[in-house]
Chains A and B, each alone.
Chain A
Amino acid sequence: MEPLDLELDDGEIELPTEPMRLNLGPSHPAMHGTVRIVVELSGETVTKADVQVGFLHRGFEKMCERGTFTQCFPYVDRLNYASPLLNNVGFALAVEKMLGVTVPVRCQYYRIILGELARICDHMVCSGAMCMELGAFTPFLYLCKAREMIWDIFEEETGARVTHSFGRVGGMAAPPTSDFKQAVRATLPAVLALVDDAEKLVVTNRIFLDRVDGVGIMSAAEAKALGWTGVCLRSTGVAYDVRKSHPYSGYDTVEFDVPVGSRGDCYDRFMCRSEEVRQSVRIIGQALALLPDDGPVNVDDPRIVLPPKDEVYSTIEGTIQHFKIVMEGIKVPAGECYSYTEAGNGELGFYIVSDGSGTPWRVRIRPPCFANTSGLAKLVTGAMIPDIVPCFGSINMIGGECDH
């Protein structure tokens, strides 16, 4: 059929159009309350996106410059509040690297077990929230139930459910409780069963697959240049896991696989997280067998570790030692170091500059999800509006960490 208005110019047929701007967040249920994404649309396709972070900025780095090294622990807890124990250990390892001390074997495996439990929590929160944002509410409830079981262990061990502040330079705040091994062994099968149940609900679900499969694709080279780490990088096929590539804290003595994706889409990121939960369970199983039942947890160095409380109250040496560490802080040799560990989202780095006093001159955190989130604009440009939600969910952006 021929066009009706043959004599009209092209310009007159075309209606003048302007790009439409849409504002997502920061008050949006799928934006986790801390991110604003301004997108420019052509129809329903995103032509331009600007991701704005910083709504949860609390001046973490400035605060760390005001106290002692030990006083940084509560702050690092609040960076990635989905897996605070991993942050604790990451910071402790950075200071220990400068001090040149290595914690006893018992502490190393204790850190591995607590850290892997925290990683399981982190991945479950991310996967659960991602499902929920796509309309699948039940997996979120299942995974929260599983997280609750792990939190019970944390509560028993550390006394707190969320922000534990349990790490210390040169050890941990307390040794494992007597029924720690038993509790972990009893809990893990129940957690795995719930993870399986939650996963079964979505991975064969057509609605879920349509939203994540082939959506938000990132190539390996781009991901590396963007500084992506952790699950996001591994989903593109790069098998970079700090625990394998640069083993620390006894990770070289346990066996585990590094799951990688093939396409780098939301589906790969989701499945990598699921598999990592299982690998973490595998690591915990081995570490439980290797964890000695007795022996010291802290390094034997009175300049670093606080003396036992009864000594503080009954001997002058203990009192002085306690006073020196609390009032002056641990004297860290002058210099700078970059220490990195595998946190829930990827490589968590601490770049610490010390001037030789008990107060850090500069504590720089390299938050994994800051780099990951910076790639979000790239992921959603060219996608549709509904694709923004799974892309954002699969990045696992944690506000406290991303915004420092």
Chain B
Amino acid sequence: MSHKVLEALVERFGAAIEETHAQFGDDTAVVAPAHWHEVALFLRDDPRCRMDMFVDLTCVDYLGRQEPRFEVVLHLRSCDKAQRVRLKARLDDAADGTAPALASVVDVWAGANWFERETYDMFGVRFEGHPDLRRILLYEEFVGHPLRKDYDAQKTQPLVAYRTGNVEKLLPFAADEGMPFGRQTHHRWRDVEATRPTPAETEAED
């Protein structure tokens, strides 16, 4: 149905479109990661495509099945033309083990914001240019990225200690000397926290 979009993409970007296919009726284009943002802008603005609706952004880990192992998958829809397209970019961890990076498309579709944060949270893919890339469904102290295939489903995470001292400096508003959450009670609460034994001390007593 939307093969014209794929044709337009190939015509405009040539070799940057690594592959196009339609499986189960879903038109797909595999994009070279370096051109990810450019292609997104083109899809939104070109009169033949008009992909004005952001649908979904996620990632699949093909560990041991495919090289490179990650595939970031973006689904888009055009409200005017009632057509859909799927974009993919194939990425891999760097040789030193750092997580892969891809250009953020938040400036193209605002809705990508949370979806990119979720993909970062679950797979560790870093989106360059994202205004606020931090974990969204999990907590800051979580170690690892759970939807990677090499993250064991049985794995447990250590208990997180009470967040002491820097309550008013938590994200998103970062370090700030403004008014603390707890007003007057806040300081009293912090004094109590200071006298509470830390986990290490409790273990030593046992």
Residue ranges of A at the interface with B (Cβ–Cβ < 8 Å):
18-21, 23, 38, 40, 48, 50, 52-54, 57, 59, 61-63, 65-66, 97-98, 221-222, 224-228, 238, 240, 245-246, 335-338, 340, 347, 349, 351, 353, 355, 361-362, 364, 366, 370-371, 373-375, 378, 403-404
Contact = CB atoms under 8 A, between A and B. Distances in A.
Contacts of B26: 336-338
A229 to B, nearest CB: 8
B65 A224 contact: no
A91 to B, nearest CB: 15
Interface in B50-68: 52-56, 58, 60-62, 65
A349 B55 contact: yes
Given A40-B173, A54-B138, A351-B73, A245 B82 contact: yes
Nearest to A98: B24
Nearest to B113: A374
A162 B109 CA distance: 36
B24 A222 contact: no
Interface range on chain B: under 10, 10 to 19, 20 to 34, or 35 or more?
35 or more
A364 B54 contact: no
Contacts of B53: 224-225, 227, 240
Contacts of A221: 52
B111 interface: yes
A46 B174 CA distance: 18
A50 B173 contact: yes
Contacts of B110: 222, 225-226, 375, 378
B136 A48 contact: no
B178 interface: yes
Given A18-B179, A336-B23, A337-B24, A351 B54 contact: no
Interface in B165-206: 168, 172-173, 177-179, 181
21 contacts: A20-B178, A38-B172, A38-B173, A40-B173, A54-B136, A65-B153, A98-B24, A222-B110, A225-B52, A227-B109, A228-B111, A240-B79, A246-B82, A335-B24, A336-B23, A337-B24, A338-B56, A351-B58, A351-B73, A353-B60, A366-B55
Contacts, number: 123
B55 A66 contact: no
A366 B56 contact: yes
B86 interface: yes
A18 B178 contact: yes
B114 A371 contact: yes
A226 B111 contact: yes
Given A48-B173, A364-B58, A338 B86 contact: yes
Contacts of B24: 97-98, 335-337
Given A221-B52, A225-B110, A351-B75, 10 more contacts: A38-B173, A53-B137, A54-B138, A57-B137, A98-B24, A238-B79, A337-B26, A349-B56, A371-B111, A375-B110
A256 B173 CA distance: 47
A404 B56 contact: no
B147 interface: yes
B146 interface: yes
Interface string B23-57: 11010000000000000000000000000111110
* Cβ-closest 10 pairs across A and B: A227-B111, A54-B137, A374-B114, A337-B24, A226-B111, A227-B54, A366-B56, A50-B172, A57-B137, A18-B178
A120 B81 CA distance: 30
Contact of B65 (A222, A355, A404): A355
A226 B179 contact: no
A240 B77 CA distance: 11
Contacts of A404: 137
